[in-house]
Chains A and B, each alone.
Chain A
Amino acid sequence: MIFMTNTSEKPTLPAVIANAVSKYFGSLQVLKNVSFTVQPGEVVALLGPSGAGKSTMLRCINHLEKIDGGQVSVHGELIGYQRQGDRLMEMSDKRISEQRTTVGMVFQSFNLFRHMTVLENIITAPMMVHKREKAEAIAQAHALLQKVGLPDKASFYPSQLSGGQQQRVAIARALAMEPEVLLLDEPTSALDPELSHEVIGTIKTLADEGRTMLITTHEMAIARGFSDRVIFMVDGEVAEDVPAKQFFESPQHERSRQFLAQMEN
């Protein structure tokens, strides 16, 4: 018996639900019953000290890491597993790959394909995975490069771009798959303050468009500037999950206050 949730019937389903997610690396429990919900159009900042499990949590959402307990769903569809009776069976590589197309991801170290030009970086996955026509993919890529402010860099190789430019290409590459949710893992941490600025600008544009985003960051301009909500994690647990304004103005936990004090300087 197979239960599947039909996403088309309920357009107002939460964009992401993490339900009691737990994850071990060997004997170390990195995520301990993490639960939260991201609504469509929300920008959520996932904050917390180093080693709190933020990156791991993001990677669990598109099944780049396998979870050991709980469930993750995107727009109502269980990620990585399908329910058979009272068990969750891991899906085939092909099915999981299809699911990943609904979740875009941007990495701290950009991870542009270094043997490909900017254009190839953007069109490869749409053509391979979505079977899009080449001309159509190219047109879309140019539109996206325009959007991230790099209309003249299509034929450059990643090594010929600055960090900030690489990160904006990486954002364009993720958007080319037309994901429903965008995960950004420390998108500006590898950049100088000046280069961060342009990337933050690009992310803000996406926020203003109403994109659903989950961002881990140490950047005040993102967390405080335009996030709707803050999820604060410590030691693999969610310590606070509150509107951003509230988190910055009246943090509830001692760890939150320490963290904010560090973040501010």
Chain B
Amino acid sequence: MTNALNTEGMSLQIVHRRRWGAWLLGAATLIVVSTMILAAVRAQIMDLEVFYRYLFDGQIMRGAFNAVVLGTLALIISAIIGLMLALMRVSGNPILASVSAVYVYFFRGTPMLIQLLFWFNAFPIMFPDLYISIPFTDVVLIDQRMTTVITPFIAALAGLSLAEGAYMSEIIRGGIMAVDDGQRSAARALGMTHNQVLRKIVIPQAGRIIIPASGNQYIMLLKSTSLASAIGYLELLRITTDIYSANFRVVELLAVSAFWYLLMTAFATALQTTLEKLFPQR
């Protein structure tokens, strides 16, 4: 019998099952992809020289930099907004919880582009003057036309952060709810106050659940900065379209901007991976 237990004490070499199916599928995929690349090269879909010329163009790079600044600031602000909304939602206070729910419904339920257009175009019409003074004194802190305060950058940052805050609050709330109730009970039983439990137990544990999803949101935000082109903020897409509407090198310039977006995404992914390693799932 060949499958009887080997009791003769000799060591037999172990051979793992080969995965022929996976190899075949991989080879087929390689063939399809390389055919497509060859076809693209033969058809000369773009002028590589023009592509390289614009790849590290000063304006393009400034646009990419502006996009990263906008996306990153929006992520930070939206995380703060999201944390507050999530804590309101789970606070057990019905008023705070419903305010939070309505916020999420509004900001998640309307397109981001509309929100950006709102902050830049509609808001200054609704409130033409920004006037802030210290009550009961003559000291005026700000007295300006709203249109001068709401620059394209401010409108884009407000729009992206407020909308993204709604998504972040749902992610953070999910993370908080995923923390086992027993962890809270144990911490309370040891005499920690509500806030200490939140700080020391709930948020660190929720963080491990929140980080991967937030990395995803960061990538989405970096790409969503292109929406700000609609309100004239000089980010990557706006600069790209400005250049190609003058020289008609549409394919090359769009490829250049795609390259920079991919680079940003790679950066965000690396950041997420680092954070996940810093806070391993236990």
Interface of A toward B, CB cutoff 8 Å = 59, 62, 64, 93-94, 97-98, 100-101, 103-105, 107, 109, 111-115, 124-125, 128-129, 157-159, 170, 173-174, 177
Of A59, A101, A128, chain B has the most CB atoms within 10 Å of the CB of A128
Binds A, one of B18-26, B96-104, B185-193, B268-276: B185-193
Residues of A within 8 A of B190 (CB): 100-101, 124-125, 129, 173-174, 177
Q: Lowest 3 A-B CB distances belong to which pairs?
A: A101-B191, A125-B190, A111-B186
Of B183, B190, B200, B204, chain A has the most CB atoms within 10 Å of the CB of B190
Interface of B toward A, CB cutoff 8 Å = 180, 182-183, 185-194, 196, 200-201, 204-205, 208, 279, 282
- Once the chains bind, are B191 and A129 in contact (CB under 8 Å)? yes
Distance from A214 Cβ to chain B, minimum over Cβ atoms (Å): 13
30 A–B contacts from the bound complex (CB under 8 Å) = A59-B185, A62-B189, A93-B193, A94-B193, A97-B193, A97-B196, A100-B188, A100-B189, A100-B191, A101-B191, A103-B189, A104-B189, A105-B186, A107-B186, A111-B180, A111-B183, A113-B186, A114-B282, A115-B204, A115-B205, A115-B208, A124-B190, A125-B187, A128-B192, A129-B191, A157-B282, A158-B282, A159-B282, A170-B186, A177-B191
Residues of A within 8 A of B204 (CB): 115
A112 to B187, CA, bound (A): 9
Q: Assuming the A-B contacts A111-B180, A124-B200, are A64 and B191 also in contact, with contact meaning beta carbons closer than 8 angstroms in the complex?
A: no
Residues of B within 8 A of A103 (CB): 189
- Once the chains bind, are B282 and A115 in contact (CB under 8 Å)? yes
A100 to B183, CA, bound (A): 16
Q: Assuming the A-B contacts A128-B196, A128-B200, A157-B282, are A111 and B191 also in contact, with contact meaning beta carbons closer than 8 angstroms in the complex?
A: no
Add 11 more A-B contacts to A100-B188, A128-B200, A177-B190 (CB < 8 A). A62-B189, A93-B194, A98-B191, A104-B189, A105-B185, A105-B189, A112-B186, A113-B201, A114-B183, A115-B279, A115-B282
Residues of B within 8 A of A59 (CB): 185
Distance from A108 Cβ to chain B, minimum over Cβ atoms (Å): 9
Residues of A within 8 A of B192 (CB): 97, 125, 128-129
Residues of B within 8 A of A113 (CB): 183, 186-187, 201, 205
Distance from A231 Cβ to chain B, minimum over Cβ atoms (Å): 21
Distance from B271 Cβ to chain A, minimum over Cβ atoms (Å): 21
Distance from B136 Cβ to chain A, minimum over Cβ atoms (Å): 35
Distance from B188 Cβ to chain A, minimum over Cβ atoms (Å): 6
Distance from A122 Cβ to chain B, minimum over Cβ atoms (Å): 10
Q: Assuming the A-B contacts A93-B193, A100-B190, are A111 and B185 also in contact, with contact meaning beta carbons closer than 8 angstroms in the complex?
A: yes
A174 to B190, CA, bound (A): 7
Residue ID in chain A nearest B197 by CB atoms: A97
Residue ID in chain A nearest B191 by CB atoms: A101
